[in-house]
Structure 1
Amino acid sequence: MELRVLNYFLTVVREKTISQAAEVLHLSQPTLSKQLKELEEELGVTLFIRGNRFITLTEDGIYLANRGKEILSLVESTTTNLLQSNTVSGQISIGAGETRAFEFISKTLHELRNNYPEITLQLYSGNADDVLAKVDHGVLDFGLVIDPVEKQKYEYLRLPIVDRWGVLVNNSHPLAEKKVVQPEDIREIPLMISNQSLVDNQLSEWLGGNLDHFNIIGTYNLLYNASLLVSENITSLLCIDGIINTVDTNLTFVPFFPSLTATINIVWKKNQTFSNASKEFLKLIL
C-alpha cells in the first residue's frame, strides 16, 4: 500500500465524497475512483459504501482510517526529525491523561523551547489506555499516565507529584457540605467512574472490594463532558482533584477519607531511538 494512495483514501474520508476529494487532490474523479478500487483489491476488503450523497465507511474502512492517520503522522514526524537531525529541532509528541502534573511537563517544555525555539510540539489527550497504545505504536514519543497502569514494559520516570481522588458533586448535593467523604457516604448516590482499565480495581479496593454494591450509572473517558452532567445534578463523579475548575461554578470537589492518591509517571518505549529534540527533553526531566 503506497502512502500516496493512503492519503487519497483519508482525503475521501475527510471530504465525505469522492468528487469533493478529487477536487481537493487535483485529480479527476475517475482516476481517484480507480486508485481507491485498486486499494480495496490489494487489501481484499471493501472500505466504503457509496450513498446518494456521502460515502459510508465499513468496519474495515474505519480501521484503516484510524490506523492510516497514525501512519501518516508517524511518517511526517520521522521525516521532519531526519531532515533536521543535525540541529536540535523537530517534533516531540506527548500524550497525557487528565492530571495537574502536566504543569510539570509544561514548565519543562517552556525551558526546552527557550533553549531550542525550532522544536515543535504535538499533544494528545486521552486516558492511560489510549496513551499507552499510541506509545506502543510509535505515534507518541512520551506518555504521561496516572497509576495504576501496567508500565513494566516501558522505561518510565515517576514524577514528584501525586493526584488526589475524591468525588465531584453539584453544590446542591448534601455531600457538598462535607470536608471529606467515606465509602458509606456515596453508597446510594448515582456515580460515574473513569473507564481506564485498571482504575476500577483501585477504586474497588478503596470502596471495600466490590463496585457492584454502589450505584454506578456509567463511565467517562475524559472528565470535562462528564462534569457537565454533574452541573445538571444528574450524577456525581469519582475523579481526581484539580482537573475541573470549581471556582465560581455549581460544582464542589470533596476528597476521599481515608485519602486515596495516585502517582504520575512519564513513560517511553524501551530501546527507543529518539530524535535530538526528544533527547533534550529527556535530559531536562531526568
Structure 2
Amino acid sequence: MELRVLRYFLTVAREGSITGAADFLHLTQPTLSRQLKDLEQELGKKLFNRSSHNIILTDEGMLLRKRAEQIVNMVDKLEREFSSMEEIVSGDVYIGGGETYAMKQIAHVVKELQLNYPKIRYHLFSGNEDDVTERLDKGLLDFGILIDPADLSKYNYINIPEKDVWGVVMRKDSPLAVKDTIQAADLLHLPLICSRQAIQQTLSKNEFVDWFGEDFEKLNIVTTYNLLYNAAILVEEGIGYAVTIDKIVNTSSESKLCFRPLKPRLESGLNLVWRKHQVFSVAADMFLNEIKESFSNLSLDAQEEVQRR
C-alpha cells in the first residue's frame, strides 16, 4: 500500500466524487479510478458505493479513512521534524487537551518562546481525555493536557500550577441563579448536563463523584458531553443545568448564562503529559524545557505568597 495512493483515497473521500478529486490532484479520471480499484483489490474490501453524481464511503472505507488520516499525519509530522533539523530552532509542537482556562499558562510559554524562536509552530487539538490519550499513544501529539481525574500511569507528567473550579452553568433567570454557591442538595432532581469524563467511576479515586457522596446515584443526568460548547447551547435552551468548570462558557453581562461555584469548593488539578521514553523534536524539546522553567517559577511564586500570608 503506497502513501501516494492513500493521499488519493483521502482526496476522493473529501471531495465526494472522482471528478472533483481528479481535478484537485491534476490526474485523469481513468487514472484515479484505476488507482482506487487497485487499492480495493489489495485490501479485498469495497471502499465506495458509487453513483452517477457522487461516492459514499462504505463502513470499510470509513475505517480506512480514519487510519489513512493518522498515517498521513504521522508521515507529514516526521518530514517536518527532519526538515526542522536543518535550521537553528524551528519545527512543530503538537498539543492536545480539553477545555480549560489553564491553557492560558501554556499560552504564556508559547508567547515567550515566540520572541526568541519565531519559526516554531504550534498545533492545538481539542478533545476529551480519550481523544487526547489516543492521539498521544499513536504519536500524533507531543503533549496532552489532562484534567483530573485522569489515568497518568502511562505517562511522564508535570503539574500545571492552576486549578479548575467546578460549579454550575445555568440560565440567569433560573431559580438557582439567586444563590452565591450551589450545594449537592440543590441539584437533586434537577435535569443535569455532565461531563462524561467527570462522572466515570472506573478510576480508583474520582473527586467529582466523591463530592456528591451518596447523592451521586440520585442525580438526574439527562445529557452528557465531552466538550462544553454544545452543552452550553442546551443550557441556553433550558434543557438543564451544566455541571462544569469555570471560565469556559461566556457568562458575561451580555450572556443569558451565569456560573455559580459548588460548595464545598471543588477543584481539579491539571497535568501536562507526554509518553514515557518519548524522543522529541528540537522544537518540542525546547517547549518542554521552557514549560518546566516557567512552571517551576510559578510554583516558587505561589510558595512565597503563602509565606507572606
TM range (shorter): over 0.9
Distance in 2 between the 1:191 and 1:200 partners?
15
Q: Does 1:208 align with 2:213?
A: yes
| Of 263-272 and 205-214, the range deviating more from structure 2 | 205-214
Q: Structure 2 unaligned segments of length 5 or more: list them.
A: 293-309
Instruction: Tell me what 1:59 maps to.
Output: 59
Q: 1:125 — aligned with what?
A: 126
Q: 1:1-286, aligned counterparts within 5 Å? A: 1-86=1-86, 87-196=88-197, 199-201=199-201, 202=206, 203-209=208-214, 211-248=216-253, 249-286=255-292
CA offset digits 1:90-124 (Å, max 9, x no partner): 11111111000000000101111111111111111
Asked if structure 1 preserves the Cα contact closer than 8 Å seen for 2:209 and 2:216, the reply is: yes
What secondary structure, in the 3-state scheme, does the structure 1 residue paired with 2:200 have? helix
- Asked whether the equivalents of residues 94 and 143 of structure 2 are also in contact (C-alpha less than 8 Å), the reply is yes
Percent pairwise identity? 46
Question: Structure 1 CA distance, aligned partners of 2:223 and 2:237?
Answer: 15
Contact 1:204 1:210 in 2 (8 A): no
User: Could you list the runs of 5+ residues in structure 1 that have no partner in the other structure?
Assistant: none
Corresponding residue SS for 1:124: strand
Contact 2:46 2:58 in 1 (8 A): yes
CA separation of 1:74/1:210 partners in 2, compared to 1, >3 Å: closer, same or farther? farther
Query: Normalised by the size of structure 2, how large is the TM-score?
Result: 0.89
| Counterpart residue identity of residue 192, structure 1 | I
Conserved 8 A contact 2:184-2:215: no
C-alpha distance in 2, partners of 1:199/1:50?
43
For 1:235-254, what per-residue CA distance to the aligned partner results, in whole angstroms no more than 9, with x for missing partners?
A: 11010011112012111111
Deviation for aligned residue 1:56: 1.3
What TM-score do the two structures reach when normalised by structure 1? 0.96
Deviations 1:154-181 (A, max 9, x none): 1111111110111111111111111111
Contact 2:171–2:236 (CA under 8 A) maintained in structure 1: yes
Q: CA deviation at 1:210?
A: 6.0
Q: Is the 8 A contact 1:77 1:90 kept in 2?
A: no
CA separation in 2, counterparts of 1:199 and 1:152? 20
